[in-house]
Amino acid sequence: MAELPVDRPTRPDATTYSLTVLGCDGSWPGPGGAGSGYLVVSEGCRVLLDAGPGTFANLQRVIDPASLDAVIISHHHPDHWTDLHGVATHARFALAREVLPVYAPATLADRTDLSASPGLDWHLVTGGDTVTIGALTCSFHRTDHVDETLAVRIDGGGRSLGYSADTGPAWSLAEFGRGLDLVLAEATYTVDHEGTAGHMSGRQAGEQARRAGAERLVITHRWPTIDADAVAREATTAFGRPVEQAAIGKEFVL
Ligand SMILES: [Zn+2]
């Protein structure tokens, strides 16, 4: 059973860089779980990074969604974006504010039926693009996954986060460049599943994060049917030091 937040966590001050997990199940939500979604807060800027099923409800246990500055969606697979419908409806009817910027690949905008939503302001991005959201710098990298799946490095306040999105092992986390304080990497299954889908095992995520010189590794996007401890064990061995596991409500301060 996924760990559900029961209280709003203590928010860090505006200068702290934090990553809060809103959902981390891979491909489909398990019992009590949610698809991929994370809240990134730095330099007074709040970004929803992916919006998989269940994540918009969990976001509201952490912050008022009216305070969001932008949404970034990595790709068009439903486990990463379907709650954008809730975000858009909330933005349209509940917010007394300008439209909410959404940064996403063109392949997503076409499939959501939200490309003309009055609550959203679409900014189409592709691999190699760098955009600024408030004081944050976001650099996008195309990964080894369907169509245009975009990993993103987010720099703010002298700290750096790298999010792998979904990827197979043919894309390298090292393409983020050096100086990563924390890598949030998909580790969908264990070594015995390698090559069966466009994802990484714990071993592959650990190896990649070590080669990228990441300071810390948080693994995520595990299929609900896969043993969490087994993935963490092989990721830790490959990374060379203990990895951390994403869980709903968990907050990582960079
Ligand atoms: Zn996925």
- Domains of the chain with CATH codes: 18-253 (3.60.15.10)
pLDDT at 14 over 90: no
Distance (angstroms) between ligand 1 centre and the Cα of 38 equals 13
One-letter amino acid of 170 = A
Asked if 170 and 192 count as a contact pair (C-beta separation under 8 A), the reply is: no
Q: State the distance from the centre of ligand 1 to the C-alpha of 237, rounded, in angstroms.
A: 24
Supply angle C-alpha 234, 182, 2, rounded to 5.
Answer: 60
What pLDDT is stored for residue 15 in this prediction? Answer: 65
The whole-model pTM stands at 0.93
CA distance to 35, 57, 107, 117, 180, per residue, from 23 (Å)? 5, 10, 22, 24, 22
- Find the 191 Cα to ligand 1 centroid distance in Å: 18
pLDDT at 96: 60
With contact defined as beta carbons under 8 Å apart, do 235 and 218 qualify? no
What is the whole-number distance in angstroms between the Cα of residue 233 and the centre of ligand 1?
21
Distance 80 CA to ligand 1 centre (A): 6
Tens of pLDDT, residues 93-115:
887 667 899 999 998 987 898 98
**Cβ-based neighbour number of residue 57 at 10 Å:** 14
Q: Using CA atoms, how far apart are residues 99 and 156, in angstroms rounded to an integer?
A: 23
Report CA(219)–ligand 1 centroid distance (Å).
13
Q: How far is the CA of 209 from the centre of ligand 1 (A)?
A: 19
pLDDT at 127: 97
Q: How far, in Å, CA of 156 to CA of 18, rounded?
A: 10
Here the tokens at position 125 are 């991005």
pLDDT of residue 6: 40
Reported as a single tens digit per residue, the pLDDT across 228-237 is: 999 999 999 9
How far is CA 143 from each of CA 129, 150, 247, rounded to the nearest angstrom?
A: 14, 6, 24
User: What's the 186 CA to ligand 1 centre distance in angstroms?
Assistant: 9
The reported pLDDT for the residue numbered 93 is 83
How close is the Cα of 57 to the center of ligand 1, in Å? 19
Beta partners for residue 100, in sequence order: 120
Q: Given this model, what pLDDT does residue 4 score? A: 42
CB 46 within 8 A of CB 69: yes
- The predicted model gives 155-166 an average pLDDT of 96
Would you state the pLDDT for residue 2?
42
Given a contact cutoff of 8 angstroms between Cβ atoms, the answer to whether 180 and 171 are in contact is: no
DSSP 191: G
Percent of the chain with pLDDT over 90: 83
Q: What is the pLDDT of residues 34-77, one digit of tens each?
A: 999 999 999 889 999 999 999 999 999 999 999 999 999 999 99
- Euclidean distance between CA atoms 240 and 254, whole angstroms: 20
Q: For residue 1, what pLDDT is reported?
A: 37
Q: What is the mean pLDDT of the chain?
A: 92
pLDDT at residue 121 tops 70: yes
**Closest-CA residue to 80 (of 157, 144, 202, 163):** 163
Query: What pLDDT shows up at residue 7?
Result: 40
Confidence of residue 119 (pLDDT cuts 50, 70, 90): confident
Contacts of residue 195, Cβ cutoff 8 Å, sequence gap at least 6: none
CB 20 within 8 Å of CB 38: yes
pLDDT tens, residue by residue, 134-149: 999 999 999 999 889 9
- Ligand 1 centroid – CA 14 distance (Å): 30
Tell me the CA–centroid distance for residue 187 and ligand 1, in Å: 11
Amino acid identity at 185? A
Euclidean distance between CA atoms 28 and 34, whole angstroms: 8
Model pLDDT for residues 196-212, shown as the tens digit of each residue:
999 999 999 999 999 99
Cβ pair 248, 24 in contact under 8 A: yes
The alpha carbon of 26 and the centre of ligand 1 are apart by a number of angstroms equal to 5
Angle at 140 between CA 77 and CA 151, to 5 degrees: 45
